[in-house]
A and B are shown apart, each in its own frame.
Chain A
Amino acid sequence: MSGVELGLAVAGIYLAAGLVFGLIFVTLGVGRVDPAARGAPVQFRLIILPAVAALWPFMLVKWFTGTRAD
């Protein structure tokens, strides 16, 4: 596998993981990180889904630190 193919594969895995995390986060986690977002409509959660999926490691840390603080 060439370097480019490897890079694309890694990126694909990253984004796939991000999508999975994102779906879970916008369903269960967003209210933990931002209490004001509890009860937010589906459309609202879908808007932030791509952003969460793109930067999911940071959102994961935020969710984790938010849960520990609780």
Chain B
Amino acid sequence: MEKRWGLVWALERLVAGVVRRPWLTLVLAFLTAAGSFSVAATTLRINTDPSAFVSSDEQFVRNFREFQAVFSHVKQTTLIVVSSEDRAEAGRAARALVERLEGEPEIFTSVFYPTGHPFYERNAFLFLGPERLNEVVERLAAAQAPLAILAREPNLAGIQEFLSLTARAYEEPVELPALAGDMMAGLADTAEKVAAGRPPALPWFERLLTREFGASDHLIIVQGSLDFDESLPAKTLLKRIRDLAAEVGIGPGSGVELRLTGRVPLEYEELKSAQSSVTLAGLVSLAALTVILSLGVRSFRVIGAVLVTLLTGLAWTLGFAVVAVGELNILSVAFAVLFIGLGIDFAIHFALRLQEAVGTESDFAAAAIRATESQGRAIGLCALTSAVGFLSFLPTDYRALADLGAISGGGMALAYIAAFTVLPAILTITGAPATVPRLPFAKRASDAIRTLTLEHPRKILVPAGLAGLLAAFAAPHVVFDYSTLGLKDPNSESVRTLEYLQSKGVKTDFTLNVIASDGAESRRLSAEIARIDGVEAVDSPDTLVPSEQDEKRETLGEAVQFLWPALNAKPRGEPLTGAERLAELQSIRTRLAALLAAPPPADDPARARFQAEARRLDAAIARLLAGEAQDAMEADAAKLEAELVAGIPERVAWLGEALAPPPLGLEDAPAELRERVVASDGRYLLTVKPREDVRDVAALERLIEAVARIAPEVTGRPVMEAGIGSVVVRSLVEAFAIASILILGILLVSLGNVRESLLVLVPLLWAGTLTLAVSALAGLAFNFANVILLPLILGLGVDSGIHLVSRFRNRHSMTEVLSSSTPRAVLLSVLTTLGSFGSLALSSHNGIKSMGLMLSLAMIFLLVATLLVLPALMAVFERHEGAPDSPDGA
């Protein structure tokens, strides 16, 4: 008497019930799917923080959390970089933007502008390097006479005297300094703008000084509120920054550029890139899926039923995810990939078997029961082994993988239920055609494969065996790239800006951090760590204290000496009268006319420029005074004077202070600067800047190891990511070991045949090893995005093996197996996965692209393993030993 599984009997009863009540089945299925989807859509969030899923027992997690707690300014930062070749403009724009940001504390909870901090302005000269300071002092020496004039006479009389002085320098047969041309250009610009009724945004003198001493890149660090109800939590924050920047004149065409980087923009751009990539890939994969299924199944009724079954199961699984885990993360969000890749396998196998049965049974109900009897156990075994494989992630240390395992494990059960309820219900209503004859090319290919595997199996097994053996040596060299930076689009603004800041030696999120107990330890550690080869520099609180102060103050003392007349000038008390201003303007024009009388020497670009600027100034003054009444001219002259001397007294006063700074110690740094590097308990923060590209994982690992030898509690984002990477690898190895043991056990119990149980694992082992080997040789690394490929290969590899071996137990002959619907179903299943996810290789998101590439590779190897290697192996065994024992209920 034939032994039957209880499961098969129950399934047959279920399918019989579905066939009797197809509409009721579909209504129930779609209602539950809709409900499930709507709950998930409103409830499920994606947590993109990889550190949230690692146990706090891990030392590197404890170090990082302590670091964030002690120095909270490092959390969730956005770095705003305001740049311009015109340093004065960069400074003006940055200050204006800071003012706007500080005006919206409900959005921007913290705004820090280190570049423009008054402490650095007051002590600007002390913070310059010795060589740069010498250059600056030389420039000041060249400007001492004009400065003295303008400090004493901050009015048009002073301008006229200053112009006469520079004109004399122009006329003398000596080299004209570039500063003279700069000053003349500043005056000309101002006069032109006043004549046009548009006063300059920045006084020319301020612009000149900033050009000398200012920065072309201004850094603003903000922290702000993120809206986690949005799919892109940082969208509002970043948009507001750009809107405010536009309001203060930063943007295309303005000459001032705004760039964003830091943790928040990096994650925002990654999420955005991933979302748009998936949208494009989704469209391409839908098209690919339709083509593949059309060619393979050749029945739109069946294709439609398969797709609807898949979507229903997916909706159920989303609801299950809400119950099982409550939120998604960067790994578990990929459960959809696993579900589609494996769930469609169940539906396709059952659908094709059903089509086969329709051709031999008297009615659809009988065909459905026949197909269930034939496939119920095999698909059940596939679902069980896949579920067990995923659930093996549960006991591992990385909760993100555990969540993925839980959702996917439950998803396999739901896909199984959908395949035996939704699919037969739809086909009962629409009708299922019998198996359509294959296309001629498909039939020829199928015949060729059958001939090759049955008659010449060694021609397949020998090269396959050699390939497997060689791959076994290469496979262990595959790398896990834990760097989240590597996943991001290298052309995105946030990544390029991060690279730029690193090239300038600016502190970013991707630096290592060490906390020292006090100043002495800080200095000791800084010195030791700075000697490491991969270290560019070590920032410590001592960076707030300028170096070589005594030598610099001596140099500045010399500058004070020669600038004494300017620094101690007593400005004229009485303003000029209107008539006096007009007279001075006339004197200026007269002097300029004399200067412009003869062309400059041909080979003297400095004088050519000076004369060109002088011509501009003259023309602007002429326009200002043209055809106006006396009162109007006096008013215009007053406006011009105000703009020409704006800021000069203040800046001379600043020079006086900046040239005579007192000695500075750490205690002199303002609290808001000090607290970012010295904790309230006195601990010091050291920041280790890497010399090499932080996306180079190997270099980063060497650096982390080297620093950890000196400071074992080194932390920072790179250390966190390296730690998480090692936990992920460890978790994967553990999960695969557990999965392999349990799956083999299930196969042994179910099939009761040791050899067949091991044969089931052949496609997985061969395809898996070759995929790892080719990835290692081609330099394709695993990362947080494509690591889900491994459970996908596990599930699909075992499923493919189960289908072939189970069909063999049914038919007792490889010839019949290869003539049945099973090879076609396996081919379709793998091709649909390939078509669905191979399109991810088109993505601009590196992680998703690598998933598409490696998955395509794995699916190709799996196809070869399942359709050539395994059948050839089984054919060899069949030849040597004949047909196996009667099937055990299969």
Contact = CB atoms under 8 A, between A and B. Distances in A.
Contacts of A54: 741-742, 745
A4 to B, nearest CB: 13
Contact of A30 (B744, B746, B754): B754
A23 to B, nearest CB: 15
Nearest to B743: A51
B231 interface: no
Interface of B: 741-749, 752-755, 757-758, 881, 884-885
A21 to B, nearest CB: 12
A34 B753 contact: yes
Given A51-B741, A55-B742, A40 B754 contact: yes
A52 to B, nearest CB: 7
A36 B748 CA distance: 13
Contacts of A44: 754
Contact of B745 (A33, A34, A37, A52): A52
Given A48-B744, A66-B752, 5 more contacts: A34-B753, A37-B755, A44-B754, A48-B757, A52-B745
Given A36-B881, A50-B741, A55 B758 contact: no
15 contacts: A34-B752, A34-B753, A34-B754, A35-B885, A36-B753, A36-B754, A36-B881, A37-B754, A37-B755, A48-B758, A50-B741, A51-B748, A52-B745, A59-B745, A66-B752
B752 A62 contact: yes
A42 interface: no
Interface in A32-70: 33-37, 40, 44, 47-48, 50-52, 54-55, 58-59, 62, 66
- Looking at chain B's contact residues, the main secondary structure is helix
A48 B744 CA distance: 7
B741 A33 contact: no
A48 to B, nearest CB: 6
A50 B746 CA distance: 12
Contacts of A36: 753-755, 881, 884
B745 A51 contact: yes
Interface of A: 30, 33-37, 40, 44, 47-48, 50-52, 54-55, 58-59, 62, 66
B742 to A, nearest CB: 6
Given A36-B881, A54-B741, A54-B742, A47 B758 contact: yes
Contact of A51 (B742, B752, B753, B881): B742
A70 B747 CA distance: 22
Contacts of B881: 36
B556 to A, nearest CB: 68
B554 to A, nearest CB: 70
A26 B9 CA distance: 32
A55 B738 CA distance: 12
A54 B744 CA distance: 10
B758 to A, nearest CB: 7
Given A51-B744, A55-B742, A62 B749 contact: yes
Contact of B748 (A35, A40, A52, A66): A52
A37 B884 CA distance: 12
A58 B746 CA distance: 9
Contacts of B754: 30, 34, 36-37, 40, 44, 48
A50 B744 CA distance: 9
A51 B749 CA distance: 10
Nearest to B747: A51
Nearest to A58: B749
A66 B888 CA distance: 12
Nearest to B753: A34
Nearest to B742: A54
B132 to A, nearest CB: 63
A55 B752 contact: no
Contacts of A51: 741-745, 747-748
